[in-house]
Chains A and B, each alone.
Chain A
C-alpha cells in the first residue's frame, strides 16, 4: 500500500519504545538482554500487526495525538468521579429517568469514535448501546431530553472537543 504522505518512522519508533517499556515492567529487569529482547519482540509484534491486522496505512486512518491523549485521560478520570458521585446520589434518592437517545458525533475516524464510546460507557450514567458510523445509541440514567443535539452536547460534548483532531480543548 502506497502512502500519500512522506514516510515518517516516528510513530513506529514511539510504539517500539512503549512496547519495550511494557516488556521491561513485566520482566522486572532492565538489563541489556531484557532491553534487546524487548526491542526485538516489539519490532516483531509491530511488523506482524502491520502485515496481518492493519489493512491500510493507519497513519491516514487514526488521527489521535499524544497531546490529545494527555488531556483526555485526566479529564476522563475527573468525569468518572463526578458522574460516579451523581450515580451514587441517584442510587440513594432513586431519582432515575432511564432513556435511550440517539446522538451523532462529528469525529472523523473509527478509532476516535471508539475512544468516545469508551469514555461514554466509563462515565457512570451513560452506556453506549450501539454505534454505526457517526450515529450512536446511548442509554442514559438521567434522561433530560430526547433531542439528539441537546443530548449529544450533554453526554459527549467535552470529550468530543478534546478528541477532535486539530482542537484539543474542552
Chain B
C-alpha cells in the first residue's frame, strides 16, 4: 500500500515536471523578447527540475540516496537563480529593451534613457 502511494506521488511529481518542462519549451518560442524567454526557459525549467528531484526523493530506496538528492537539490537551488541572473544581467547591460505591446508606451523605470 505504501509502495503504491509512493509510486502515485512520484508519478504526480514526474508528471508536473513534464508539464513544466514542455511549458518552458513552448514559452521559449511563444514569448516575444529575451527577458520573457529567459523566464520561460530558466524558471519553468527550475520548477521541472525541482519536481524531478522531489519525485526521485519519494522513490529513493535508501536514506543515503535521499540525503544525496537533498544535497543536489540544495546546490541546484543556489546555482539555478545565479545562472538566470547572469543571463538577465548581461541582456540588461547590453541595452536590450523589454518587449511592450505596440499600444503601450514605455514608462517609469522601463525607460533606460533616464539613467
Q: Does A49 contact B (CB under 8 A)?
A: no
- How many residues does chain B have at the interface if contact means C-beta atoms less than 8 Å apart? 44
Complex Cα–Cα for A26 and B27 (A): 37
B84 to chain A, nearest CB (A): 5
Given A80-B47, A91-B31, check contact A25 B19 (CB 8 Å): no
Please tell me if A81 contacts chain B, counting CB pairs below 8 Å. Answer: yes
A87 (CB) vs chain B CBs: closest residue: B44
Q: Are A139 and B88 touching (Cβ within 8 A)? A: yes
B10 at the interface (CB under 8 A from A): no
Q: Which of B17-54 contact A (CB under 8 A)?
A: 19-20, 23-24, 26-27, 30-33, 35-36, 38-40, 42-44, 46-47, 50
Query: C-beta contact mask, B39-83 vs A, less than 8 Å → 1, else 0?
Result: 110111011001000000000000010011001000001101110
Task: Report yes or no: A98 in contact with B92, Cβ–Cβ below 8 A.
Answer: no
Question: Is B108 interfacial (CB-CB < 8 Å)?
Answer: yes
Given A25-B64, A87-B27, A88-B19, check contact A98 B36 (CB 8 Å): yes
Nearest CB in chain A: distance from B94 CB, A: 12
- Complex partner residue of A141 from B19, B26, B30, B36, CB under 8 angstroms: B36
Partner of B35, one of A84, A91, A98: A98
A14 to B42, CA, bound (A): 34
- For this complex, 29 residue pairs linking A to B, each with C-beta atoms less than 8 Å apart, are A22-B71, A25-B64, A25-B68, A26-B68, A84-B20, A84-B43, A87-B40, A87-B47, A90-B27, A91-B24, A91-B26, A91-B27, A94-B31, A97-B100, A97-B101, A98-B32, A99-B100, A100-B109, A101-B109, A117-B81, A121-B43, A122-B80, A124-B44, A127-B38, A127-B88, A130-B92, A139-B39, A139-B98, A141-B39
Listed in ascending order, the chain B residues whose CB lies under 8 Å from chain A are: 19-20, 23-24, 26-27, 30-33, 35-36, 38-40, 42-44, 46-47, 50, 64, 67-68, 71, 77-78, 80-82, 84-85, 88-89, 92, 98-101, 104, 107-110
